[in-house]
Amino acid sequence: MNILYRFINWRRNIRLSFEEDVIKRSVIRSAVLLLGIIIAHVYLMTRFEAFSWQDALWLTLTTLSTTGYGDISATTLAGKTATALLLYLGGIFILAKAAGDYFEYRANIRAKKIQGHWEWHMSGHILVINTPSQQGSQFFVRLLRHIKHSGLSAQTVQILTRKFPDGLPSPLSRMPGLVHYTGSGTCPNDLLAVNAQQAKYIVILAEQEDDRDSDSRTFDVLYRLQ
């Protein structure tokens, strides 16, 4: 069962990383194309309209951002044609695409954080491994309140658990300083993802108190943390 989970977790991470890489490449490609259009238009305005490079850049940016103050504009046929082709047809389209890719990238990151697939690269945090099978949310609410009143409120708490694959429930999601990662303490890759070696405190919970194998799994996690 644990091997199956590791395989599913590996496939999930590969898919999420691939999607993120695709969005990143699209954003970078759009940014490079946009920069090329800006440079080309500035150059053409200095040639066709005899503008200084400062005025040419001002015209390019105000046109590209659709602000259009009108204080500077192309007057020659060549200048108007270059502006129409490069900025109106090319630049604004690429700018919109780059903005869309960026917002998609941010939305993808937010979804990964909510679903517990984001690696926070923490250090000095409190790591809690596993979730009680009964009333897990209420347990963490009480635990976080205890941490807050014990003088450890400055430390961020990260939960390593499979219990919340769709996001933390509302009582926990509203609590500041709490994040989670969807995984298992018996998986070495998941322990690396939560920076277990850099955690200041590690709390290992029994998922089921009456499970006779609970202690053996706890010792397995302790062994992996060494």
> Is residue 121 assigned to a domain?
no
In this predicted model, which residue has the larger pLDDT, 211 or 65?
65
- DSSP 8-state symbol, 175: S
15 and 43 in one domain? yes
Domains of the chain: total: 2
105 and 10 in one domain? yes
CB 171 within 8 A of CB 201: no
Predicted confidence (pLDDT) per residue in 66-120, tens digit: 777 778 888 899 988 988 888 888 877 887 887 888 888 888 888 889 989 898 9
> Is residue 208 assigned to a domain?
yes
133 and 94 in one domain? no
Range of the domain at 100: 2-115
**Distances from the Cα of 34 to the Cαs of 73, 84, 146, 160, 172, in angstroms?**
20, 15, 52, 42, 42
> Of the candidates 115, 149, 174, which is a domain's last residue?
115
CB 126 within 8 A of CB 155: yes
Instruction: Give burial (CB, 10 Å; 0-12/13-18/19+) of 218.
Output: middle
This prediction has a pTM of 0.66
